[in-house]
Amino acid sequence: MSRSAHPAGPRYADVLSEGHYAAPPADLNRLDPKVWSRTVGRDADGVATVAGIPVTHLAEQFGTPAYILDVDDFRARCRAWAEAFGKDADVFYAGKAFLSRAVVRWLTEEGLNLDVCSGGELSTALSAGMPAERIAFHGNNKSTDEIRRAVEAGVGRIVLDSFQEIARVAHLAQSLGKRQRVQIRVTVGVEAHTHEFIATAHEDQKFGIALAGGQAAEAVRRALNLDGLELIGIHSHIGSQIFDMAGFEVSARRVVQLLAEIRDEHGVELPEIDLGGGLGIAYTSDDDPREPHHIAKALTEIVTRECEAAGLRTPRISVEPGRAIVGPTAFTLYEVGTVKPLEGLRTYVSVDGGMSDNIRTALYDAEYSVALVSRRSDAEPMLTRVVGKHCESGDIIVRDAFLPADVAPGDLLAVPATGAYCRSMASNYNHALRPPVVAVQGGAARVVVRRETEEDLLRLDVG
Ligand SMILES: *Cc1c(COP(=O)(O)O)cnc(C)c1O
């Protein structure tokens, strides 16, 4: 946990997870704009609303659990990123955070580009009209079929991740009579997470080709010599949920150093550098993410400075935010089923979803916040753990949460900042039916990804 410690209250000190607030927030009814999408508020009756629609209406109409996505917020974030980086840079939305055809349409209209990393994401993008030249294809083990489809479709770039792939893409492109624009993904020896980053010479992970030991330089040599490839740049992605720019600084310096080596050895200045994604968002009121224009300014300055020092023309920069665009735009709406007080410990509040719609708490020990949204309550704060309905004691959505002590079955709870890596990582564990994604805008709501049905599950099970 990167969170700084807070003074422990006598009542909760021994049962709170390390690093969590020991004291309840001053106002449990407050919906902090930092973690909720921008059209969220409460109406005169105390019911939370989004885009002017009470959540009670959404629950009635669409059922729970449901992901509720604020379209104006999504589009505003796309615009903020596009404007922050301007004409001389490219913003690629990382589709793995959450991809649907509606998302692709919004991205296309807002002028963003799109990262995909599987045939499924590629077909979603193409079927919703994203121009192929605005698509980048990632992945450490793209299949031959995926590569062929990407080349045939004419994707703007394939990000090469291994020596085998350099040969594979070159061969496929040539056999299709094409010259594929590619970048090489390098590992720069920076592992960044939230407020810490570690810079090392080597990196022990599956992605990319190491700068260390001349591996990346060898990859460049091969790519430049293959007719099927047009090498346009170097790619680096250093981590996720990052708040501190220092890791990007080390990464950019090391990538620019490689660009200088390439110029010295081959006499070419590669025109592009991609610094990846990983920019953090606020999951709780403690988190302080930076605005896109700060990030754009910082990254542009770092690259410009390093290039000047190396005597290189500044390459075109691209970035790949996923979480930072879609994460804050959605919340998950649940209904409380049972409330179980454990004397001297905490109260377990069970909702009608769980690790099948949000695996991040179990998988990464991620922190979330939660609020009672179907009504206002003036009851005392109570320490709870919000859990799902799965057959697993690790099925936790919010590990330590203060909720009003009168929280009861039938109440609606909402967990904000679930737009990224929740629906996209959802599973059918316990044959759960994956929740719908409901897009809300200007007082209207519509399903953009429908709820799964038992027929959907049975259709896959051919008996
Ligand atoms: C996951 C990923 C991203 C997006 O990461 P976020 O944390 O969602 O911003 C961008 N680029 C690459 C290569 C990735 O693997």
Amino acid 1: pLDDT: 39
- The residues with which 402 forms a beta bridge, in sequence order, are 383
Residue 193 has a pLDDT of 78
Residue identified by tokens 């930072």 is: 324
Alpha carbons 329 and 198: distance in angstroms, whole number? 30
Are 342 and 315 in a shared domain?
A: no
Record the tokens describing residue 41, joined without a space.
């508020």
E strand or H helix at 240: strand 239-242
Query: Is residue 419 one of the residues assigned to a domain?
Result: yes
Within-domain flag for 121: yes
Any idea what the CATH number is for the domain that residue 134 is in?
3.20.20.10
pLDDT at res. 239? 92
Q: Which of 309, 325, 341 is the last residue of a domain?
A: 325
**Residues 250 and 164 placed together within one structural domain of the fold:** yes
The domain boundary, picked from 270, 295, 325, lies at 325
Supply the pLDDT for residue 13: 54
Residue 457 lies in a domain: no
Domain membership of residue 98 as a residue range: 72-325
290 found inside a domain? yes
Q: Are residues 312 and 379 both part of a single domain?
A: no
How many Å lie between the centroid of ligand 1 and the Cα of residue 444? 31
356 and 421 co-located in one domain: yes
pLDDT given at position 14: 61
Number of residues assigned to the chain: 463
33 within a domain of the structure (yes/no): no
Tell me, what amino acid is at 268? V
CA distance 328 to 73: 8
Tell me which residue has its CA closest to atom 7 in ligand 1. Answer: 278
Residue 196 and residue 310 in one domain: yes
78 is catalytic: no
Each as own residue / partner, the long-range contacts of residues 359-365 (CB below 8 Å, 24 or more positions apart, any chain) are 359/422, 359/425, 359/426, 359/427, 360/421, 360/422, 360/425, 361/396, 361/397, 361/398, 361/399, 362/392, 362/394, 362/395, 362/396, 363/425, 365/1, 365/399
Identify the pLDDT of residue 384. 97
314 and 383 share one domain: no
Contact predicate 6/22, CB 8 Å: yes
19 falls within a domain: no
Residues 350 and 263 both lie in one domain: no
Identify whether the C-beta of residue 139 lies closer than 8 Å to the C-beta of residue 162.
no
Do 275 and 252 form a contact (C-beta atoms < 8 A)?
A: yes
Q: Which residues pair with 349 in a beta bridge?
A: 339, 386
Helix (H) or strand (E) holding 41: strand 41-42
| Tens of pLDDT, residue by residue, the chain (463 residues) | 334 444 444 455 566 676 666 688 889 999 999 999 999 999 999 999 999 999 999 999 999 999 999 999 999 999 999 999 999 999 999 999 999 999 999 999 999 999 999 999 999 999 999 999 999 999 999 999 999 999 999 999 999 999 999 999 999 999 999 999 999 999 999 888 777 777 777 788 899 999 999 999 999 999 999 999 999 999 999 999 999 999 999 999 999 999 999 999 999 999 999 999 999 999 999 999 999 999 999 999 999 999 999 999 999 999 999 999 999 999 999 999 999 999 989 999 999 999 999 999 999 999 999 999 999 999 999 999 999 999 999 999 999 999 999 999 999 999 999 999 999 999 999 999 999 999 999 999 999 999 999 999 999 999 9
Backbone torsions φ then ψ of 450, nearest 5 degrees? -80, 165
User: Cα–Cα distances in Å, from 299 out to 41, 227, 248, 270, 304?
Assistant: 34, 33, 7, 18, 8
**Structure confidence at residue 21 (pLDDT):** 60
415 CA to centre of ligand 1 in angstroms: 22
Q: 397: part of which helix (H) or strand (E)?
A: strand 396-404
Task: Let me know whether 309 and 353 are in one domain.
Answer: no
Whether residue 302 is contained in a domain is answered as yes
Q: Are residues 321 and 340 in the same domain?
A: no
Let me know if residue 28 belongs to a domain.
no
Q: Are residues 309 and 360 in the same domain?
A: no
Residue 324 near residue 280 (C-beta atoms within 8 A) = yes
Which of the listed residues 272, 303, 325 is the one where a domain comes to its end?
325
320 marked among binding-site residues: yes
- Which CATH number goes with the domain that contains 333? 2.40.37.10
Tell if the pTM clears 0.85, that is, is over it: yes
277 within ligand 1 shell (Cβ under 6 A): yes
70 lines ligand 1 (CB under 6 A): no
Do 365 and 307 share a structural domain?
Answer: no
Beta bridge partners of 273: 234, 317
Alpha carbon distance, N-terminus to C-terminus of the chain: 46
Distance 240 CA to ligand 1 centre (A): 7
Residue to mutate, 206, 320, 425, ligand 1, most ligand atoms under 8 Å from C-beta: 320
In a shared domain, residues 98 and 64: no
Number of domains in the chain: 2
